[in-house]
Amino acid sequence: MDLCQYLTPDSVARQFLKWANFTDDDTILEPAAGEGSLTPNRPGVLAFEMDRNLASELRYWRFQAEVINADFLATEPQISLSVAILNPPYAADGEALFIRQSLAWAPRACALVRTLALHGQGRFEKCWRYVKPTRIAILKHRPKFLGPRLLPTKYTPEADYMAVECVLRDQPLPKDGYNDILTDIQLSWVNWK
């Protein structure tokens, strides 16, 4: 089964985590942990990973975090956490689905996604109608993602990327409210490589 595993390079992960601006007191959700480049090794971290082998490795390397080998999208929220940090799978509108589901677990989500995650009526209906971006950092360079076991991959990004911080909207946008997704946000360009 293809789990769309394109893993975040450590250099981009470090800069993204700094941008996410969480504190030592925050409890953290990582819903698509992969090999753990976004998963802090400390108590108060809950990580999900579907791949059994990666979940096992995460438990070893991120021994202070709680690692669950399960499909995050099929798991009902059981606890409330402070913030979600994620680089979700992109296939089948995964970005939209993971961001929205993350906000059922935490009031704030910070995601590393393709800029095209903001586009399209389908993503609007699945996510942005209900989710408000509050901050966006557009990457000036396309990150070189890695395959499983941090091996180089033939995958070359064909899209631009951004970090987006989100919260749930007080009220959903109207069905024709697509033009209102990016109101009142902080926008910046970052040089993460």
The domain segmentation of the chain, as residue ranges, is 10-188
Q: Is 26 exposed, middle or buried (0-12, 13-18, 19+ CB in 10 A)?
A: middle
Q: Report pLDDT digits (tens) over 85-97.
A: 999 988 888 999 9
Residue 129 has pLDDT above 60, yes or no: yes
Q: Are residues 148 and 135 in contact, defined by beta-carbon separation less than 8 angstroms?
A: no
Residue 188 has pLDDT above 70, yes or no: yes
Half-sphere exposure of 75 (CA within 13 A, CB side): 19
Residue with tokens 């090999």: 35
Query: Tell me, which fold does domain 10-188 have in CATH?
Result: Rossmann fold (3.40.50)
Number of C-beta neighbours around residue 56 at 10 A: 13
Joined together, the tokens standing for residue 170 give 């007080």
Joined together, the tokens standing for residue 176 give 């024709």
pLDDT band at 151 (very low <50, low <70, confident <90, very high): low
Residue with tokens 């970090």: 163
Q: Report pLDDT digits (tens) over 62-89.
A: 999 999 999 999 999 989 999 999 999 8
More confident residue, 10 or 148: 10
| Residue 1, pLDDT score | 37
